[in-house]
Chain A
C-alpha cells in the first residue's frame, strides 16, 4: 500500500482520508519512505520526518473529531525560500548557514492553518536565481525524467527545481514554489507537473526570502490542475504584513473548473513565434490551440509588440532589486560571518564567501545599473519598457480572455549544457512577460517530446483571474490526457 499512496494528488488523498481508507500518519509515513529512497535526486535540503509525523497525528485527531481543514493531513514540500518557524531556512545559499527563523511566512502559515503537513524544505537555485537548479549551495537537483534509452542526468529546471522534482517523483502530495521570471512554470514544464504563478499581490510575500520584490509571487506546484486550484485557495489571501498583498476575496478556484471554454477568446501572440523556435514546441502549441478550440474557445491572433524586450528588461530590473534586497546579508544579524580586520572587510569577506557565482554576478549587475551615471540609461529605461510590455497585455485583454503560449523554448537538458549565463536566461523567454506585467500564468503538461521528455503549455490571464486561467488549464489537461510518469530508477 505504501508506494501506492505516494502517487496520490491532493484531491485523491483528501478523498481517501475523508473515507478513512488510510490515516494521515500512514500517508505521511509513505512519503517519508519515498523521500529516503530518493535522496539521489537531492530534491530536499532539509527533511522534517518527526515534525511531519507529529502534525499528521494531530490531523488524524482532527479528522476523527470532524474538524478537518481543507488540506488536513496532506504532506507538502516547501521551497526553501519560505521562512518556517524553528526549521532551517537556507534559500540554498551558504550565506544563510544555520538560519532558523523565529517566525513563519504567511503562505506556509496558511497551509498549516488548513491542516497541511510539512515533509521538508525543497532545494532550489540560490536565492531563486537560476533556471536549472545548478546554482544551489546544496548541490544540483536531478530531474526524475530521463531521455528515452539514456541514463544521463537532466536538470529539473529552476529555480523551484526541488519542488518540481519532488512532485514529479511522488516525494510529496504537492509543493510550494515561487516565480520571479518563470521559476514555477519552467520547472513544471520540465517535469510534467502543473504550476501556477498567481497575480502579483494575490499571495503574501511576508516571510519569503526576497529576491526581486516587484516581480515575485508564491504559487502551487502539483500533479493536476484541480490540485493547483485547491492549494492556491489556501495559499492566497490578503495579509496586513505585506502592503502589496491585495485585499480581495479568494474565490473557490476548484469550483470554477468546468473545462468549458465556450464564449471565451484565447489569444495566440504572434511575437512568441520566435526565430529558432523548435518545430516540436511549435507543434505542441498548435495542438494546444486545437484543444482550446475543441473546448469551445474562439482563437484570436494577438500582438504583444514589446514582448521581445521582456528578457533584457527583466535582467536589469531583477538584478537591481536583488542588489538592494541582498544588501541585508552582512554577517551581523544572521547566517554566515567571515571575520575581517574591520567592519568593511568583514562585510566583504562574508559576502565574497557566502554568495555563489550567479548571485554575485546579479548583485554586481544590479549595483552597476543603479550606480550614478547609469541609473537612467539602464534602470529607468527598463522600467519604461516594463510599462510598454504591461500595456501590450492590457490592450490584448480588451479582446481576449487568456493567452496561450509555450512555457519554455526547450525540454529539460543536461547539467552544464548552458554554462553561458545568457543561454540560461533565454529559458525564461516566454515566462518573464507575466512577471513584468504582474499577471497570473500557469504551465500544464501537454505531452512528451520525441526524446520522451515532458513539455508544458502556458496560459496567461487577466489580473486576478486565476479562476479563468485554471479553467483553461483544466480544459487543456483534459484534452492532453497526460498521464506519463518517470520510471522510478532512483529507487535503485
Chain B
C-alpha cells in the first residue's frame, strides 16, 4: 500500500495539521518510506493471535464513585492562551 499527495492532504486534514501544498509530494515520499518499512509485518502468519494492547495483566482498578477533585477553574485556566472569566475562548463557531 502507498499514499499519493492527495491522500496525505486528507490525512493531514483528519489530523488537523496545516500542510503547504508544495510540501505534499515530499511528505508522501516520507510516509511511503515508512509504510514500505512496516510492510514486512504482512509476511508473518498472525492467524489466531490475540492483539496485545497493554502489558499490564490486570483489569483497571475501581475506586469509590465520589468527587475527588475539581472546583479549581483558576488552575485549569492558568495556561490558556486566551480566556474570558472562567471560560476558554475559541473563534466564533455558530453564526
What 1/0 flags go to B55-84 for Cβ under 8 Å of A? 110001101000000000001001111100
| Pairwise interchain contact A306-B44, C-beta atoms closer than 8 A | yes
A343 CA / B94 CA spacing, docked (Å): 10
Instruction: Please give me the residue from chain A that is nearest to B33 by CB atom.
Output: A422
Given A352-B19, A361-B34, A364-B17, 6 additional A-B pairs, CB 8 A: A102-B78, A200-B55, A312-B39, A327-B16, A364-B27, A371-B14
Q: Give B14 Cβ to nearest chain A Cβ, in Å.
A: 5
List 17 A–B pairs whose Cβ atoms lie within 8 Å, in order of A's numbering. Answer: A243-B61, A246-B56, A306-B44, A313-B38, A323-B15, A334-B79, A337-B82, A342-B92, A364-B17, A365-B34, A368-B31, A368-B35, A390-B52, A421-B33, A422-B34, A425-B37, A463-B55
| Pairwise interchain contact A351-B40, C-beta atoms closer than 8 A | no
Whether A346 sits at the interface, judged by CB under 8 Å, is: yes
Whether A303 sits at the interface, judged by CB under 8 Å, is: no
Contact of A309 among B13, B40, B80 (CB under 8 A): B40
From known contacts A323-B15, A348-B18, A381-B41, infer whether A387 and B52 are also in contact, taking CB-CB under 8 Å.
yes
Instruction: Please give me the residue from chain A that is nearest to B77 by CB atom.
Output: A333
Whether A262 sits at the interface, judged by CB under 8 Å, is: no
| Pairwise interchain contact B46-A336, C-beta atoms closer than 8 A | no
Q: Which residues does chain B contribute within 8 Å of A381, judged by CB atoms?
A: 41-42, 46
Q: Give A342 Cβ to nearest chain B Cβ, in Å.
A: 5
| Pairwise interchain contact B1-A377, C-beta atoms closer than 8 A | yes
A412 CA / B75 CA spacing, docked (Å): 42
A363 CA / B88 CA spacing, docked (Å): 25
Whether A64 sits at the interface, judged by CB under 8 Å, is: no
Q: Which residues does chain B contribute within 8 Å of A333, judged by CB atoms?
A: 79-80, 88
Whether B50 sits at the interface, judged by CB under 8 Å, is: yes
A368 CA / B14 CA spacing, docked (Å): 9
Interface residue ranges of A193-207 to B (CB < 8 Å): 200-201
Q: Which residues does chain B contribute within 8 Å of A438, judged by CB atoms?
A: 55-56
What 1/0 flags go to A279-311 for Cβ under 8 Å of B? 000000000000000000000000000100101
From known contacts A342-B93, A383-B52, infer whether A348 and B16 are also in contact, taking CB-CB under 8 Å.
yes
Q: Which residues does chain A contribute within 8 Å of B92, judged by CB atoms?
A: 342
A331 CA / B16 CA spacing, docked (Å): 11
| Pairwise interchain contact B1-A334, C-beta atoms closer than 8 A | no
From known contacts A331-B81, A365-B31, A384-B51, infer whether A244 and B17 are also in contact, taking CB-CB under 8 Å.
no
Whether B54 sits at the interface, judged by CB under 8 Å, is: yes
A361 CA / B61 CA spacing, docked (Å): 35
The 10 closest A-B pairs by CB, nearest first: A438-B55, A352-B18, A383-B51, A334-B79, A337-B81, A387-B52, A348-B18, A384-B46, A312-B38, A102-B75
| Pairwise interchain contact B61-A378, C-beta atoms closer than 8 A | no
Whether B22 sits at the interface, judged by CB under 8 Å, is: no
A341 CA / B18 CA spacing, docked (Å): 13
Instruction: Please give me the residue from chain B that is nearest to A213 by CB atom.
Output: B54
| Pairwise interchain contact A387-B93, C-beta atoms closer than 8 A | no
From known contacts A384-B51, A387-B50, infer whether A363 and B17 are also in contact, taking CB-CB under 8 Å.
yes
| Pairwise interchain contact A343-B51, C-beta atoms closer than 8 A | no
Whether A380 sits at the interface, judged by CB under 8 Å, is: yes
